[in-house]
Amino acid sequence: MQIFDVKKSKYDLDQILTHFGLSRGVDCPILDNLLNVTVSSGYQLPEILDERRHKLRLEGDLWNEEELKMHFLSIVFLFSKMEVDKKMKLFYERPLTATIENTPLYVICDALLAAPLGINTPQKPYFFLQEFKKGKKSAIDAEGQMLTAMLIAQHLNADGFPIYGCYLLGKHWYFTTLHDKNYCFSKDYDATQANELAQIIHILQNLKHQIAY
């Protein structure tokens, strides 16, 4: 029997779904609870975030992954306030590995929200944001890479609770959930549009409550 090598497959989504017997769909109450946010009519984006939104619209297709992270994502995370002292912390560029169903899995997580061990070690991962891409075709499947991280977290946590994710294709954000064998994904949210960026901020804020409660 040939062993499935997720890394050599370039994290191909179809191969991951098939190998681990996952269903992929949009009808998912857990995902609906994450996305069910209300943005008040009087809400305005913080000035610096709105400025970066314009910058993303003008220059984002030319940025590399690190530039997207520094110019835009760091500001989004700042105003999303996902961290909880000693309970949830954001980490960047951390490796995750596990063997699931006799299949070795390995991935570098661009960003993850996890319960910390001590000061700066991720212990229990809850949420992954993967692949700071420019939106152009890549040899690596952004969604498949994120799903691999979610599968590892589900295995390591072993608590029956859902794992949350988000992958980026340029300016487009897609939120996801994994619970048991059910993998669900959202519509795309365009971060260059003020109303959709406001929704992204509120969804990330809601993430904290979904994990905590």
In a domain, 15, yes or no: no
Q: Does an H or E element contain 183, and which?
A: strand 182-190
- Domain holding 55: CATH number? 3.90.1570
CB 107 within 8 A of CB 16: no
In a domain, 201, yes or no: yes
In a domain, 27, yes or no: yes
**Residue-level pLDDT at 170:** 84
In a domain, 2, yes or no: no
**Residue-level pLDDT at 1:** 42
For the chain, the domain total comes to: 1
Longest Cα separation, the chain: 60
In a domain, 191, yes or no: yes
**Residue-level pLDDT at 133:** 56
**Residue-level pLDDT at 127:** 96
Q: Does an H or E element contain 103, and which?
A: strand 103-117
pTM for this prediction: 0.93
- Alpha carbon 188 to its chain centroid, in Å, reads 13
**Residue-level pLDDT at 151:** 97
Q: Which domain holds residue 54?
A: 22-212
**Residue-level pLDDT at 188:** 96
Residue numbers in the chain where pLDDT is lower than 50 = 1, 135-136
**Residue-level pLDDT at 27:** 81
Q: End-to-end CA distance of the chain: give it in Å, rounded.
A: 43
Task: Provide the token pair at 204.
Answer: 């990330």
pLDDT, tens only, 88-111: 999 999 999 999 999 999 999 999
- Nearest CA to 208 out of 87, 96, 92, 91 is that of 87
pLDDT, tens only, 35-45: 999 999 999 99
**Residue-level pLDDT at 196:** 97
